[in-house]
Structure 1
Amino acid sequence: MSRTSIFSPLQHRPYRMLFYGQLFSDLGTWLDLLALSVLVAYTWGKGAVELALLTIVIGLPWVVVGPFASVWVDRLPRKGMMIACDLLRMLVVLGFVVAPNLYVLLPLVFLKEALSALFDPARQGAIRTLVPEAVLLQASSLSQLSLNVTKVAAPVLGGVIIAVSSPSLVFLLEAALFLFSIYFISRLPKMKVETYVEEGMADESKFWQQFKQGLRYIGQNRILATAIVLMAVRFFLIFLYDGLLVLWGKDIGMGEEYFGIFLGAVGLGTVIGTVVVGQWSFWSAKPIQMMSITASISGLGVILLSFGSFGWVPPNVILWTTLFFLVGAIGAGSSVPYGYVLQKETPSGIIGRVTGTANAIQNLSMFLAPAIGAMIAEWWGTGGVFLIAGTGTVFISLVAMLVVPKTGGAAKGKEHTASS
């Protein structure tokens, strides 16, 4: 058991500035999630088609822009890249305030998400550059904690603001959050631009060569590839049923007032689980095994949820709230090791491309899942979707444990460093 606290990296001033910058950036990223939907559905009176378009535009840049743009993340100074992304996002969300219609709003949303898809790989690279190896696990866990907390808290805060004011105030606050992020990131020290060169190959400087280099690195590192695929499949299976939770509540005979309680339980569980898993490093030597075991257990929890939909478990609110909490808490046992694998197995000079590709794979899986989940629900009911998702999670986790090697990845290369 490690004596190093999950908060130990905050003692290092460069990481502390980076973490605060990420925290404000994450808040800004998620704050408008509800506000955009309210603007489209209530203020402008649009329907399901327009809301579906909004959802697509939010996720599409991570798939079609992120992997290619991340080549520039590995070429350019990361501090400047993050500041530029925050500054441009601040201007874009101010554009949300004056957007007259959906045709103006959607390109602005696309641009904001494209900039977020650039910010994230740059942030990952900054962690790899700034953080001492001894606290890399804790730093990666703290970064995941910021993401998990803001995913829960920011939309709730946005909803409260909308209830007392309007979506425009949410967008103004969001712009201020990006400004705070700029303040902290601007206080980072200069970071070296590191160029990764594969062993036995010449320095590849062309765009497409560097793009393919990132793909090759993932393919040659089995631990990294396993972690990315495992998380992508997990996200796919989660999003099979994520949009059907309201129907699940109807199946078990509970009203819509319990829906927020269940979601809050998942969010709280995820936050607590992230802190607990990040606090101890007993799993650091075998992160894939940790991901697999915790995913399997959470998969069993999803199977139990399907039993409720089938009417095999009584509609007890304490039982289901506890189960949702445990699914969230145990599920953090996958996300925290995944972030650590991404950092540990990837050299700084190529981490932007690896992160961009991993984000694209995961977002593509989340794109496809809701429609497939809806079709399965039409055939076998909501319980069938939960049963398939839970069983699939257990199965893919067991497969991952069998294919991952006992040692590190096979990809080899070296890094050259230049002044930023």
Structure 2
Amino acid sequence: MTASWDNDTSGLGAIRGNAQLRRLLVAQAPADLADWLDFTALAALLAYGWKVDPLVFALLAVAMGLPYLLVGPVAGVIADRLPLRGVMIWSNVAKAGATALFALAQDWPVLLALVFLRGAFDSFFTPARQASIQALTAPGERAAMNGLSLGLNQAAKIVAPGLGGMLLVALAPAEVFLLNAGVSALAALLLLRLAPISRAETGAAAGGMLAQLAEGLHIARDRPALSNALGLMALGFFGVFLYDSFFAPLTRDFGFSEIQLGFILSAVGAGGVAGALFSGGAGRARPFRQIAFAMAASGALVAAVGLSAALAVAPPYPVFFAGSAFVGFTSAAALVPIRTVIQNETPPSHMARMAALGEAINTLAILSAPFIGAAIAGATTLGHAFVAGGAVALLGAVLAMRADRA
């Protein structure tokens, strides 16, 4: 562990007194909301308006995720070369334009191409935001700031799809798309309130795009704490998405209703918000120990649920509801210290590309894990996909504990 983990007793108090951080968080709220506000409208247009084949929904998931894998790493390098404030502003402006074009799409291939384009523009925002958090905070403040930032992101994932569904009661999908474009434009306007963000060591590295991408990989390889954090983040996402798609059929097999499923999914999201905020205020001296405890608790619980399903033993609904909230809590509690390690271990001149590299690795895990989980469930039972996801989290806990002792 490097000296960047020296004890800094600032935290939430310092964030409250930092106008730049407050403005960044305020702008992040509509930026994150815009990621999910029109998701219900997209699904409704495809399912009810155009009545597409199920394959198109799989392609929608690919169109939403692939930009962060293909464009994201390049976006990170570009964000490291340019002023962060400008990158975040223009990312949201371009995202607003792409979203507005959704309203003009007349068939699903065009719509999915626009979804990919919007994701490509959005892939600039998160790396620049993570680099901004690093630039605007001292090492001891970053856990608290990451907790608040992740908490906002989790809250947006809870609120936005439901709000989008409510909007469809009064608006056509095209109108929802235009409204969501306005939300991204609002994020850009709020980002104008930020002063220019200065960074140490911001000189661009020699060489072209590929050389600078390779340099980011070399930095990750040469810093064990950084490579451990990136690996644990990818492992965590992979484990979750082995079983995440099967919550609905699992609850059906347990005899829970559709309404109860809705409450369960809300509990996972609310647990994620609580876990992010709790983790941001937890101790910062040994982040890998916190990651290990969170992944161990989550893995054990998910594996237990999977064994229960494999044995056809349904838990009581209140127990399953509470367990779902706890899984959301522990998942977020592991992610906050991971992000903090990445920020504390990465040189400022490379922070955006390192954040983009993390996003790309996560996306690869997210896109591959559901198919592996489906293969496990198809060959055995749904429960075994949950057991596999829990086992991956437990492996992550072991690796995190080893990193803590290194």
**TM-score normalised to the size of structure 2?**
0.93
CA deviation vs aligned residue, 1:360-406 (integer Å, no higher than 9, x gap): 01100110011111111111110111111112211232123224554
CA deviation vs aligned residue, 1:197-242 (integer Å, no higher than 9, x gap): 7xxxx95243222111111111111111111111111111111111
Residue 234 of structure 1 is matched in structure 2 by 236
For residues 113-128 of structure 1, the aligned pairs below 5 Å read: 113-128=119-134
More deviation, 129-138/237-246: 129-138
Residue 418 of structure 1 is matched in structure 2 by none
Residue 185 of structure 1 is matched in structure 2 by 191
More deviation, 35-44/352-361: 35-44
Pick one of 158, 164, 184 that aligns with 1:158.
164
Matched, 1:36 2:38: no
Decide whether aligned partners of structure 1 residues 3 and 192 sit closer, same or farther in structure 2, where only a CA change above 3 A counts.
Answer: closer
SS state of the match for residue 98, structure 1?
Answer: coil
Pick one of 190, 194, 210 that aligns with 1:208.
210
Distance between the aligned counterparts of 2:169 and 2:308, measured in 1?
A: 33
Given residue 345 of structure 2, which amino acid in structure 1 is its aligned partner? E
Decide whether aligned partners of structure 1 residues 27 and 385 sit closer, same or farther in structure 2, where only a CA change above 3 A counts.
Answer: same
SS state of the match for residue 380, structure 2?
Answer: helix
Matched, 1:353 2:353: yes
Native 8 Å contact 1:82 1:123 kept in 2: yes
**TM-score normalised to the size of structure 1?**
0.90
CA deviation vs aligned residue, 1:129-152 (integer Å, no higher than 9, x gap): 223444222122211111111122
SS state of the match for residue 20, structure 2?
Answer: helix
Residue 331 of structure 2 is matched in structure 1 by 331
- Pairwise CA distance, 1:14: 1.1
- Pairwise CA distance, 1:262: 0.8
User: Where has structure 1 moved over 3 Å in runs of 4 or more?
Assistant: 1-8, 192-197, 311-315, 403-406
Native 8 Å contact 2:84 2:128 kept in 1: yes
Residue 80 of structure 1 is matched in structure 2 by 86
Distance between the aligned counterparts of 2:150 and 2:196, measured in 1?
A: 24
Decide whether aligned partners of structure 1 residues 263 and 106 sit closer, same or farther in structure 2, where only a CA change above 3 A counts.
Answer: same
Matched, 1:174 2:180: yes
Matched, 1:279 2:297: no
**Alignment gaps of 5+ in structure 2:** 1-6
Distance between the aligned counterparts of 1:143 and 1:350, measured in 2?
A: 20
Residue 416 of structure 1 is matched in structure 2 by none
Given residue 362 of structure 1, which amino acid in structure 2 is its aligned partner? N
Native 8 Å contact 1:76 1:193 kept in 2: no
**Alignment gaps of 5+ in structure 1:** 407-420
CA deviation vs aligned residue, 1:55-98 (integer Å, no higher than 9, x gap): 11110001011012211110011111111111111111111112
Residue 292 of structure 2 is matched in structure 1 by 292
Decide whether aligned partners of structure 1 residues 73 and 189 sit closer, same or farther in structure 2, where only a CA change above 3 A counts.
Answer: same
Measured on the aligned residues, the alpha-carbon RMSD in Å equals: 2.0
SS state of the match for residue 196, structure 2?
Answer: coil
Distance between the aligned counterparts of 2:363 and 2:262, measured in 1?
A: 25
SS state of the match for residue 189, structure 1?
Answer: coil
- Pairwise CA distance, 1:8: 4.5
Residue 411 of structure 1 is matched in structure 2 by none
- Pairwise CA distance, 1:310: 2.6
Residue 257 of structure 1 is matched in structure 2 by 259
Native 8 Å contact 1:235 1:366 kept in 2: yes
SS state of the match for residue 381, structure 2?
Answer: helix
Decide whether aligned partners of structure 1 residues 300 and 32 sit closer, same or farther in structure 2, where only a CA change above 3 A counts.
Answer: same
More deviation, 340-349/350-359: 340-349
Given residue 9 of structure 1, which amino acid in structure 2 is its aligned partner? I
- Pairwise CA distance, 1:287: 0.8
Residue 384 of structure 2 is matched in structure 1 by 384
- Pairwise CA distance, 1:5: 6.0
